[in-house]
Structures are given as structure tokens and as C-alpha cells.
């Protein structure tokens, strides 16, 4: 915190807030527990915690910094904890104990496609629990905030979101929560939609709306009440606008007209044209080979005799038919 901001808080009489802000750290103090075979991963996680930019997580949760350490448990794939946890889970957080558990062997699963995104994702869950004072937070909102914090919005996210809104998919936050509980592809769809929904909410109602909602939850408000207070709109109306109206114009149209999709279409057309040309060339080559074989057959003396004999027999057969 700058001296100017600190002085401003003190002048306003917010000395407690100024003191807590001064004590807070901009990056988490990670207390890592790992077996010897994951020592290298532990070193990498430690570097991520010390040098990573967690300002986005602090902004979206409304916290001023990390006031206490976070315990990180690295679990190998053959550990009892890994065997008891669904295979699609690459990590989870226990907010009340400020503990996160990571399964490094599962890092490649969406949306945590790297160790960095996984660490940021789970740290965000700890901050969400702290900001809400451990009050219940809807799963879609919790995962949506963590996903936005951990990864940039890229073409993979757009593609997954575009696929998720096709057909009779989830149309409410409650339906997204059910998808997280069902496992399989529905989990990936719920991650993609939750992240997209939270991004859209921040564009529509301001980048501080997530922090405001968490603050109001910490005051024992229901999520629906906190949403209205933070946005001036109802959750039902926001869900309708996003899932029904925005899905076409803000997903399919930009996605289908993007440079990546355009080049993909050009590549597909080129592949079809190449295959058609190869098929046509192969047929033409076979015809040329057949003509060459026929010419070679005609050039041989024995072949001429056979052909002359065949022609003479054919003429005799015709004469016999005429006579008869």
C-alpha cells in the first residue's frame, strides 16, 4: 500500500483498515507438504506463490491481501486421498482451514491446464471463503470466480462455451450446480458456462460486483438478496439475458466469424479439394496405365495373330448366321 493511501485511510479514521492493509501480503505464504517424489513440483508451487500475480483474485474477492498462510498438500496419484477423489478433480480447497489439495498428475484437465492455473484457481477458493466469512456460496459462482481468476479467456473457452449452449443445456445457476455434481462431460460444461457467466456479469454490472456479493454474503444475506443489492437486478433476469439472449450474439456469431474459425474452414475446404483431386488423379492414372497395356499388347506379334484369329472367327460366325 502506498503512503498516500495509508495516510488517507488514517485521516478518515479507518486506522484498523489501514493497519490490516499494511499487514496483508500481496502474494500468499504457501506452507507446502509433499512427499519426496514430488519435491520438484513443490519447488514449482513455491515459485508460483512467491512470484505470481494474485491481484486479480484479491480484486474479485474484495480482500486487501493475504493475512495468513495457506496450507498446500501435494497428493501423488497412488495416495489414499487420490483414490478417494473423483478422477476429474485436479484439486480442491477447504476454505475454513485455509487448505488446498493438489493432484499434480491430473493438471491437464480443463479448466486447470497448467500447474499455475491450478494453484491460482484453488487459492481463489480460499479467498472466496474468507471474503464470504465461510457463508454458503453457490457452486457456479464459486467456480466461475476461480476460473476467471486463474485463466485468460481464450479460443478454447469460447469453443467450450459455444458447444455448451447448444441444445437443451443448463439455463440457470442451479442447473450448473447440478452439472458439477453429475461428473463427466457435464462438469466441464459447467466450468465453461460458470466462467463465461461470471465474466459477462462483470461486464454488465461492473468488475467489483463479485466482491460486493461476497461481502453481502458475509453479512448473512442470501445469494439472491446479495445479487440484487450488488447489481440492481434479479438473478433470474440476469440468467435469462445471459443463457437465452446473449448466447447467440455474444458467442456463436463472434466465434464463427473469428480468424481462427475462418482459417479452420479454409483448411477444411482445402483438404476436401486435395482429396477430390487425388481421387481424380488416381482414376486418370489407372486409365492411362490400361491404355498403355493395351498398346503394348497390340505391338506384340503373337498378340496380333490372336487378334486376327479372333476377328476371323467373328466374321465366320457372322457368315454362318447369315446363311442360316
pTM > 0.85: yes or no: no
CATH number at residue 31: 3.30.2010.30
At 102, phi and psi to the nearest 5? -120, 140
**Is 59 found in the same domain as 30?**
yes
Is residue 316 included in any domain, yes or no?
yes
Total domains, the chain: 3
* 174 and 214 housed in the same domain: yes
What are the tens digits of pLDDT across the range 192-230?
A: 899 999 999 999 999 999 999 999 999 999 999 999 999
Angle at 187 (CA atoms; ends 241, 128), nearest 5 degrees: 75
124 within a domain of the structure (yes/no): yes
Question: CA 285 from chain center: how many Å?
Answer: 47
Report pLDDT for 188: 86
Q: State whether 247 and 158 are in the same domain.
A: yes
Domain end position, chosen among 131, 165, 185: 131
| CA–CA gap between residue 227 and residue 222 (Å, rounded) | 9
In this prediction, residue 125 has a pLDDT band, given cuts at 50, 70 and 90, of very high
Q: What is the pLDDT of residues 166-181, one digit of tens each?
A: 556 678 999 999 999 8
> Which pLDDT band, with edges at 50, 70 and 90, does 110 fall under?
low
Q: Are residues 279 and 317 in the same domain?
A: yes
**pLDDT surpasses 60 at 90:** yes
Asked if residue 261 has pLDDT above 80, the reply is no
Percent of the chain with pLDDT over 70: 69
Q: Is 273 buried (19+), middle (13-18) or exposed (0-12) by CB count in 10 A?
A: exposed
The DSSP string of 202-229 is HHHH-TTHHHHHHHHHTTT--HHHHHHH
pLDDT band at 60 (very low <50, low <70, confident <90, very high): very high
* CA dihedral (269, 272, 275, 277) positive or negative: negative
* Residue with the larger pLDDT of the pair 192 and 322: 192
Do 225 and 172 lie in a common domain?
A: yes
Residue 161's pLDDT band (boundaries 50, 70, 90)?
low
What is the pLDDT averaged over residues 54-74?
A: 95
Position 21 confidence tier, pLDDT thresholds 50, 70, 90: very low
First-residue to last-residue Cα distance in the chain: 119
Cis peptide before 111 (omega within 30 of 0): yes
Measured distance CA(204)–CA(196) in Å, rounded: 12
Instruction: Flag whether pLDDT at 14 surpasses 60.
Output: no
Tell whether 187 and 222 lie within a shared domain: yes
Is residue 312's pLDDT more than 70? no
Instruction: Compute the chain's Rg from CA coordinates.
Output: 34
Q: Are residues 83 and 163 in the same domain?
A: no
Q: Say if residue 30 is in the same domain as residue 127.
A: yes
Range of the domain at 179: 153-257
Contact at 8 Å (CB) between 193 and 176?
Answer: yes
In a domain, 1, yes or no: no
| CA 72/CA 109 separation, integer angstroms | 19
* Nearest partner of 90 among 114, 116, 109, judged by Cα: 109
Same structural domain, 270 and 241: no
Amino acid at each position: 500500500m502506498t503512503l498516500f493511501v495509508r495516510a488517507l485511510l488514517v485521516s478518515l479514521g479507518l486506522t484498523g483498515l489501514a493497519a490490516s492493509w499494511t499487514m496483508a501480503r500481496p502474494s500468499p505464504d504457501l506452507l507446502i507438504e509433499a512427499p519426496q517424489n514430488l519435491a520438484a513440483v513443490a519447488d514449482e508451487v513455491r515459485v508460483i506463490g512467491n512470484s505470481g500475480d494474485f491481484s486479480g483474485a484479491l480484486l474479485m474477492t474484495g480482500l486487501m491481501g493475504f493475512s495468513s498462510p495457506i496450507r498446500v498438500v501435494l497428493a501423488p496419484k497412488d495416495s489414499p486421498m487420490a483414490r478417494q477423489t473423483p478422477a476429474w478433480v485436479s484439486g480442491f480447497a477447504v476454505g475454513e482451514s485455509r487448505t488446498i489439495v493438489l493432484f499434480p498428475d491430473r493438471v491437464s484437465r480443463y479448466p486447470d491446464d497448467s500447474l499455475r492455473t491450478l494453484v491460482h484457481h484453488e487459492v481463489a477458493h480460499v479467498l472466496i471463503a474468507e471474503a464470504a466469512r465461510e457463508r454458503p456460496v453457490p457452486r457456479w459462482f464459486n467456480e466461475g470466480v476461480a476460473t476467471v481468476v486463474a485463466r485468460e479467456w481464450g479460443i478454447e473457452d469460447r469453443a467450450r462455451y459455444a458447444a455448451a449452449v447448444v441444445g437443451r443445456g443448463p439455463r440457470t445457476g442451479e442447473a450448473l450446480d447440478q452439472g458439477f455434481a453429475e461428473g463427466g462431460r457435464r462438469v466441464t460444461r459447467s466450468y465453461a458456462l460458470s466462467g463465461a457467466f461470471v465474466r459477462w456479469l462483470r461486464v454488465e454490472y461492473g468488475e467489483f460486483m463479485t466482491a460486493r456479493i461476497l461481502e453481502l454474503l458475509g453479512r448473512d444475506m442470501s445469494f439472491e438478496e446479495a445479487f440484487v443489492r450488488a447489481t440492481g437486478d434479479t438473478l433470474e433476469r440476469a440468467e435469462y439475458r445471459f443463457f437465452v439472449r446473449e448466447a447467440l450474439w455474444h458467442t456463436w456469431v463472434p466465434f464463427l466469424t473469428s480468424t481462427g474459425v475462418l482459417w479452420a474452414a479454409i483448411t477444411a475446404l482445402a483438404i476436401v479439394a486435395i482429396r477430390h483431386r487425388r481421387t481424380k488423379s488416381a482414376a486418370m492414372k489407372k486409365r492411362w496405365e490400361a491404355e498403355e497395356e493395351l498398346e503394348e499388347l497390340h505391338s506384340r506379334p503373337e498378340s496380333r495373330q490372336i487378334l486376327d484369329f479372333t476377328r476371323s472367327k467373328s466374321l465366320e460366325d457372322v457368315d454362318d448366321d447369315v446363311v442360316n
